[in-house]
Amino acid sequence: ASRLYSLLLQKRGFSDVFSVGRVQTPTLALIVKREHEIENFVSEPFWEIVAHFDIQEKKYTGKWEKDGDSRIKTKQLAEKIAAFCQMKPAEIADVKADKKEYMPPLLFNLSALQADANRKYKFPPKKTLDVLQKLYQRGYVSYPRSDSRYVTKGEAEMFPETLKKIAAFAEYQDLFPLPFQSIVDNKRYVNDKKVTDHYAIIPTEQVPQIGKLTPDEKLLYDMIVRSLIAAHYGKSVSEYTTVKTLVDGRAEFVSKGKVELEVGWRKVLPPQKEKDGEPELPHLQQGEQGEVKKVEVKESATQPPKRYTEGQLITLMKTAGKHIEDKELEKVLMKTEGLGTEATRAGIITMLKDRNYIDVTKNLVYAKAKAKILIAAIGTQILASPEMTAKWEQRLKEISEGTASPKQFMEQTNKMVTHLIAATASESQQWQFSEGDQAGFEPRESKPRRTVKLGPCKKCDGDVIDKGTFYGCTNYNKTKCTFTISKKVMGKSITQQNIKKLLKDGITDVIEGFTGKEKTFNAKLAWEEKEHRLKFVFDEQQVNQ
């Protein structure tokens, strides 16, 4: 497929290597899809109304809503509603409080750690793996390329000893003593059946001197240590309150608030930043009355979808099953951990960068023109869908279990390849690319071609060099010298060796395989000085040298 698309796209003027793969291409298709969503997005203005209430000396704000929507399409309507609400009586129509419990996060596997380190510290996934590898080689953390988030009972029995050493460090002292001394019987973390080749990434009993770690090693080691400490803490409990306030019996305003009832494990892993719009609300009860003190109209605009970060890309590859319609295949992909493996995902992203498909700027992933051109060419072919990977994984799993035939799998793959080549070759005539993508395309060979002088020009004092699809004179830019020789003459490629001989001696060696109308023939090529053109020589005597 890589050869197929490279050659067909070359014919359309895109001279580069277009690599295709069953993991890299579906991943690239997801990035390009998001890029198109952003490009085609049209921002629209909307207005929202915020009221400031005073209910029996309890002050809070609320947002106007109708049928669950707070956005108003026109400024005039928003100002009309706001004017209606000014200084009007208000009554609390409804108060709902929901308790939500959050369990501590699971222990880290590689993908989860890469996604988290990217979100917190903007580490590219490859950097996380490289730093982790160094910690592992020095014996401070367990195997880094693990896909499991569980540990065995044997490992869990070692935790108290490891945590005792960690408790001695100043940065962790306030987290001890632990609410739970052991998690040996906690199935959320300890499950021998869910540990395949390797268990979750955990600190080993060989605890380092933290001062001797590099800054990056410190950050990752801290994340791994805290994930283990958090597992020894209880749940975090928050209460979410929704208050509906009715103004003058007609206009409905909604206020949302959050109160943390139990900190639990969040003491170890505090959230990076609180979500906006969840302030603490005063204690309000249905039926209480007051008035509107002030009303504001706020203008906003709809926002395009956000670009993926590298960390989100790792998660997206892991859960690529979510982009599949067929539920059975989705299960297979979820079992086989999505696109790629723990060990290869960071490498796939690096490869997409190296192959000039994507750019990562300030941790955001951009699809380049080359990526859009390839995905436009692939179109609806199964190469761009995670479905093909899922089908292959399913069949290979069946082969490993002895319920499917390897021979049949190879035959079907053969058929798929044959069909792909035939279908793509015929479809390539109809490929359409946007002008922007064509203009933005930069071949990877942006380094200047090393110019080899093949001999003196037959028309001027310039030199003849290889110019890609033909041989031409170096003086073209200066004097517009038009001396050119095509690289292909009557179906036969003319080598640099023969051009050198032609320029030096006026004639080439015998070249075999020219294709005439009815037959192939062998001949030499000579330069006709008077007419300034090439001619065939079948008998050397015809040429005056």
* Cα gap 189→191, rounded to integer Å: 6
Q: Please list the residues that pair with 162 across neighbouring strands.
A: none
Q: What is the DSSP letter of 490?
A: T
User: Where would I find the beta strands (DSSP E) of 333-469?
Assistant: 358-361, 364-367, 453-456, 463-466
Q: Is 143 among the residues known to form the active site?
A: yes
Active-site residue, from 121, 136, 143, 240 = 143
Structural tokens at position 514: 């020219």
Q: In what order do the strands lie in the sheet with 470-473?
A: 453-456, 463-466, 470-473, 484-486
R_g of the chain computed on alpha carbons = 34
Q: Please list the residues that pair with 361 across neighbouring strands.
A: 364
Q: What is the DSSP letter of 82?
A: H
Neighbours of 10 (CB within 10 A): 13
> Do the Cβ atoms of 310 and 118 come closer than 8 Å?
yes
Closest to 491 measured CA to CA, from 510, 514, 470, 512: 514
Helix (H) or strand (E) holding 534: strand 533-537
Helix boundaries (H) for 182-324: 215-231, 310-318
Structural tokens at position 248: 């003058």
Structural tokens at position 49: 């109304």
> Do the Cβ atoms of 57 and 304 come closer than 8 Å?
no
Residue carrying structure tokens 């493996």 = 341
CA 505 to centroid of chain Cα atoms:
57
Q: What is the DSSP letter of 512?
A: E
* Residues in Cβ contact with 420 at an 8 Å cutoff, skipping those fewer than 6 apart: 1, 4, 381, 383
Closest to 147 measured CA to CA, from 114, 99, 185: 114
* Cα gap 416→382, rounded to integer Å: 10
* Cα gap 297→275, rounded to integer Å: 22
What is the three-class DSSP state of 223?
Answer: helix
Q: How does DSSP assign 100-116, residue by residue?
A: EEEPPPPPB-HHHHHHH
* Cα gap 469→527, rounded to integer Å: 19
Q: What is the DSSP letter of 189?
A: T
> Do the Cβ atoms of 14 and 373 come closer than 8 Å?
yes
Which residue numbers are catalytic?
143
